[in-house]
Amino acid sequence: MVQPFILITDDNKKVITTDKKHKHDFVCPLSGESFKVRGKFWNHIKKLKLNPKDLDLDIKEDIKEENKGNLKNLFHKTNLEYLWTSYFKGKITKNKLEDLVGLIDLDIYKELKKIMNDDNIKDVPSVEKDENNENDFSSVTSVVDENNENDENDENDEKEENDENDEKDENTNHIIVNDNVRLYIGDIKELSNNVKDDSINMIYLDPPFNSDRDYKLDVNSDIGFDDKWSDSDYENFIENTIDLLYGFLKKDGTLFFHISSNEMYIPEKILRKRFKYVTPIFWKKCRSKNNVKHKLGCTIDIIFKCNKISNPIFNVVYQDRDENYVKNSFNNKDERGDYSLGHLVTENTKMGYLYEFNMNGHLFNPSSGWRIKKSELEKLYQDNRIHLPKKKGAKLYKKIYLHESPGKPCTDLWDDIHSLGQGSEKRVYPTEKPIKLLERLIAISTNENAIILDPMCGSATTGKASHNLSRNCILNDKNPDVIKIIKSRF
C-alpha cells in the first residue's frame, strides 16, 4: 500500500504526500528496534502490551521535526485523531480509514477521498464541524473497532489493497452508498455496534409478515426470503426487534411498523406494550382483488405510527385533490379566483359562539351559533373572504380559494398511493414498497438532514426516498444479494 505522510512546508502549510522518498521504518518507542514489515512491528507491539493510541512512529530525518504532534493540531476530534494516526501507523487500511471517517464527518470524507485518489501533494482538509448539527452521523454511529488489528505484511499491502477494492461491494459489511446513505450487511442484532441510542429521528420497519409464504422476485430468481414462522417464534422475533429499535429512537422521533391487516394482532400487542402512543395508518394499496374466490380480497396494509411522547415531530402533508371534487366544489368565483365554501355556522347538534353579525345590511344570528369568534369573523369580512348567499335565510360561508389550497390534509386512510403491481415503478425486490409511500412517511415525521433507519431495508426504497428529501439514512439487511440492487438505485 502506498503510504502518505503529513508534511509542514517552509511557509508552515500542512500538506500530504505519497512520495516514496518519505517512506519510513516502523520503530518501537521503547526498545528502539526497527521493522521494515508492518505486521512484524505490530506483533512486536502486542507482545509488549502497549496501547496503540500511545505510540509515536519514529520517522526519518527528511521528515521535518515539526511534524511530531501535528496530527493532534489537525484532528482535534478524538475519534478522527485516533483513526488518522492509526492509519499512518499502519493499523488500518486506506479503505477502512475512508469508511470510518465517512461515518464521523461527511465533509471530511469527501476531502479525504480526493486526497487518497491523488498521488500529488494536496492540502490537508479542515476538520471543523457544525457543532449545532445534532443530526451529524458522528452522533449516530459507533466508529472505532479497537479489536480490528491489521497484521498483513508490508510487501503484500499493494496487492491486497487492489483485491479489496475489486471485491469491496460484495464482501464488506459496510458500504457508503452516497453522501446521504450508509448500508450495513448483517443480522439486525449487530446494529447496536453501528448505531447509538437516542440518535435516530425516524425508523421504518417492514419486517416479515408471518404470511406462511416464500417470496421470490420471479419464478427464475433466487432473490427473496422465507416468511414461515410459528406464532410464538414470530412474536419473540418482533418483540426482540422492537426492544432493540426503541433504544435507537429519539424522544421526539417516530417508528413506523408496516404489516398486513391479516397479521396485525401480534405486532400491535407488542407495540402498545412498548410505546405510549400507537396510531394505525390504513394503506389501501390496491383497488381490487379479482382473482379471489373463497375469501375477501386483502387490499389494506397497516402502518403503525409509534411515538414515545404526545408531541413528536409532525408535519402536515397534503394529498392531491380529487378532480371531481375540484370541479364540483370550487365552482364560485370572484376577483381573487375560484373558491369553495367552508362552514362558519356550527352544526345543529352542537352550540357555538352566540352573537349577531351584520353584513351589507343583512343580519345573521344562527340559532346554533358560530364556529369562530366575532373578531375572527370581522377579519374575514374586512378581507372579503365571506360568501354572501343570494337566497334569503341562507347561511354565511368562508371562501376557500383553489390557488391557496395545497390539497386536502392527509388523514389516516391512504388510498392515493398504489402498490408497485398497480403503479409505474419497476419491481426489483419481492416485497418492495413504492417510493411515494416512504416519502410521505418521511415528510410527516422528519425535517431536512434528519437521520432515518431502515433495519430490514430490502431494495432500499427508504434510502432512495430519504435521499430525494435531503435526509440521511442508515440501511441494514442480512442478505448480501441486496448490495447490487441497492447500488443500482443510486
3-state secondary structure of 274: helix
Looking at residue 290, its amino acid is: N
Q: Does residue 212 have a pLDDT over 70?
A: yes
What would the pLDDT profile of 90-107 be if each residue is shown by its tens digit? 666 666 665 555 544 555
Q: Is the pLDDT of residue 24 over 70?
A: no
Alpha helices for 117-171 (secondary structure H): 157-171
Q: Are strands 249-260 and 300-307 parallel, antiparallel or unpaired?
A: antiparallel
If you count them, how many residues does the chain have?
490
CB 6 within 8 A of CB 74: yes
Measured between alpha carbons, how far is residue 247 from residues 121, 200, 255 in Å?
45, 9, 11
For residue 376, give the nearest of 386, 389, 366 by alpha carbon. Answer: 386
pLDDT band with cut points at 50, 70 and 90 for residue 420: confident
> What CATH number does the domain located at 181-318+409-488 have?
3.40.50.150
Q: What is the number of other CB atoms lying within 10 angstroms of the CB of residue 446?
A: 24
| 436 vs 73 pLDDT, higher one | 436
- Give the model's confidence band at 279: pLDDT under 50 very low, under 70 low, under 90 confident, else very high: very high
Domain ranges in the chain are 5-166, 181-318+409-488, 323-406
Q: Give the range among 123-127, 200-204, 256-260 with minimum mean pLDDT.
A: 123-127
- Average pLDDT value for residue range 457-485: 93
Cβ pair 7, 60 in contact under 8 A: no
Average pLDDT over residues 325-344: 92
Average pLDDT over all residues of the chain? 76
Gap between the Cα atoms of 463 and 471, Å rounded: 9
Residues 6+ apart with CB under 8 A from 112: 97, 98, 101, 125
Q: How confident is the model at residue 22 (pLDDT cuts 50, 70, 90)?
A: very low
Element of type H or E holding 120: none
pTM: predicted TM-score of the whole model, two decimal places: 0.62
Q: Give yes or no for a contact between 390 and 357, defined as CB atoms under 8 angstroms apart.
A: no
CA distance 101 to 204: 26
pLDDT in tens, 51-70: 444 444 433 332 333 333 33
